[in-house]
Structure 1
Amino acid sequence: MSIALLVVGLTSAGAMAQAAPSTHSNNFASNPMLIAQADESKLVAENKALLLSNRELARKIASSQGITSSGELPTTGTPPEQNQVLILQNQETFKAIAEKVGATVPALSKPGGSDVAEQNHNLLLQNRQIVVAIASKIGVTLAAPPSLSGSFVEKNHTLLLGNKASLTKIAEKLGVK
């Protein structure tokens, strides 16, 4: 065997060994990038669950005010894109509730930009403004909002938790079960 062939063989084997997934159980824990991606994917799923919960609560509030809500659950697109559909549906419900109780809805912009997480963040900030306007109009005092930090997905999670707490207080004030 020639030296060149031996070097190529060793280099290829080394490259393959580096590229091949490790069977060591601690490899995942030693790779911060994999951990961050897994945490973010988990948080996107939690955000969807919060969006669905907030959707249900908002629809109950809307129904108590004689408002019919519509909108199918999204079944296509990436999880962040599906979340955006839910955010926009919730926004329509929030706007209808605000109009019904006489709350002023702030000027809203359409989603724009290339990053869906950032678009969702901006939409959730708008939804938060609407929910705060509803609460204010019906005399519900809300806790000061927590500071937003971390990635857009983390900030979105914080906003969704805040809206859930606010919607719960609004529902209680309106006698919605």
Structure 2
Amino acid sequence: MPPAELCDIIDFWITAPWPMSQDEAQKRAVDRFGWTIEVENDTHYLMNTVSNFTTADVMTIDYKNVMMDLSFDTSDTIRDVTPESTDFLSDVHTLMVREGVARWGEPKLAYFKDTTTAQWNVEDGARVSFSFLPRGLTARYETPQGVELDRRAAHQ
């Protein structure tokens, strides 16, 4: 996924009218991005079928019918990790972070084992993160309500 496209998706969520339900968020993603909703055992799953990644799932998490966060792959999954594939994903992650810096300023960087994450606190108390792992790249948008719930849980 090109960095500008990724950041456009994230900007869409940043400017969305939070709070909203998971169903409303999923419908907005279908209307705006052409993503799809699959239903299994009466549960609706949001899928990014547009990018043609092996894993199309967009993880959406809600609490008491209010969206807390969504995360999705921004690259395909690497099955056979090689130094070349790792270098490639690292370079793409760097480009994603540069685009994020241009839009939201300097991120907080975190390193854990083979994972690098760039994280921004953005408008209205929301949080954005882009993560690099040797097997793939992911993006996460935490709604203002999700960030607040995390904050309260950390202080208990």
The reply to whether TM is greater than 0.5 is no
Normalised to the residue count of structure 2, the TM-score between the two structures is 0.29
Higher strand share: 2
